[in-house]
Amino acid sequence: MGVLKIAAFSDGSSGGNPAGVLINDALPDAAEMQHIAAEVGFSETAFAAPDGDSWRVRYFSPESEVPFCGHATIALGAALVRRFGDGLFPLNLAQASITVEGFRDGANVAAALQSPPTRSKPAASELISESLALFGYAVADLDPAIPPALIHGGADHLVLAFNSREALAAMRYDLKAGQLFMRREGLVTILLAYAETPRLFHTRNPFASGGVYEDPATGASTAAFAGYLRDIGWPHGGAIDVVQGEDMGMRSRLHADIPVEIGSSIRVSGTARMMDEA
């Protein structure tokens, strides 16, 4: 089976975040996976091989390995459904064991992942100041109801929430400066968010740590963000919807179900559309 190209968290038959998926009897060595991911050129490529009754999975951006990637997991779920039919597939990651569930939905596949456990903590003032300077924002642009925080749902992210959709749309930054900052701080992405309603968010997701200016749909950061909203007592009503990629012309939709237990896994779901095979 060659590399599949699948857009995860699509908005019907358009949008979504393209990911590569390679399913083999055994995983290639790390150097080969890194080479394949660079050739594919998407923000992430997922590699999977049988591991007993589960699947061993590793994720690579064009420049580095990442511990967890939500949209590539959704894409992998679609690929597994394509090969084996509808089902629930256990996945063994580098630092956690999760599941992805998928079923055919017309020409597309609907899929849902269960994230690793979530956690969050307030961001230090120096980190907030430096991140705002990176993007050219001021403290006055922030939404005080969702304070800046370090969030985790399988990977580490910084979240900055803004008080207007216009502020979110104005995001600009230098890729190299962002890469140096994010790698130094151990951040896989920075999640920028705006709450249109308590249950509907617009987000953007710079992924400079992996050499990508912006991701159009990011399940890992959405899971971490949903966990953070639970931590701060946000009135989410048990679930949130996220629109991402709109400012890139790649509108994507993500849904996150939020259980009440602090730290528990988040279910992130969406549709995936098949692209051309490499």
What residue segments make up the domains of the chain, in order of their start?
4-114, 119-272
Distance CA 52, CA 115 (A): 21
For the cut 60, the answer to whether the pLDDT of residue 44 exceeds it is: yes
Question: What is 119-272's CATH topology?
Answer: Diaminopimelate Epimerase; Chain A, domain 1 (3.10.310)
pLDDT score of 95: 86
Same topology, domains 4-114 and 119-272? Answer is yes
pLDDT score of 276: 66
List phi, psi (to 5°) of 256.
-125, 125
pLDDT score of 146: 98
Q: What is the mean pLDDT of the chain?
A: 95
Distance CA 140, CA 164 (A): 11
For the cut 70, the answer to whether the pLDDT of residue 188 exceeds it is: yes
- What would the pLDDT profile of 218-277 be if each residue is shown by its tens digit? 999 999 999 999 999 999 999 999 999 999 999 999 999 999 999 999 999 999 999 864
User: Mean of the pLDDT values across residues 48-65?
Assistant: 96
For the cut 90, the answer to whether the pLDDT of residue 12 exceeds it is: no
Left if phi > 0, otherwise alpha if psi is -120 to 50, otherwise beta: which for 227? Answer: alpha
- What would the pLDDT profile of 72-101 be if each residue is shown by its tens digit? 999 999 999 999 999 999 999 988 899 999
pLDDT score of 278: 41
Distance CA 11, CA 73 (A): 17
Task: Give the three-state DSSP class for 32.
Answer: helix
- What would the pLDDT profile of 111-132 be if each residue is shown by its tens digit? 999 999 999 999 999 999 999 9
Largest Cα–Cα separation, the chain: 53
CATH class of residue range 4-114? alpha beta
Task: Give the three-state DSSP class for 140.
Answer: helix
pLDDT cut 70: percent of the chain above it: 99
- What would the pLDDT profile of 95-116 be if each residue is shown by its tens digit? 889 999 999 977 779 999 999 9
Q: What distance lies between CA 56 and its chain's CA centroid?
A: 19
pLDDT score of 262: 96
Write down the pTM of the prediction.
Answer: 0.92
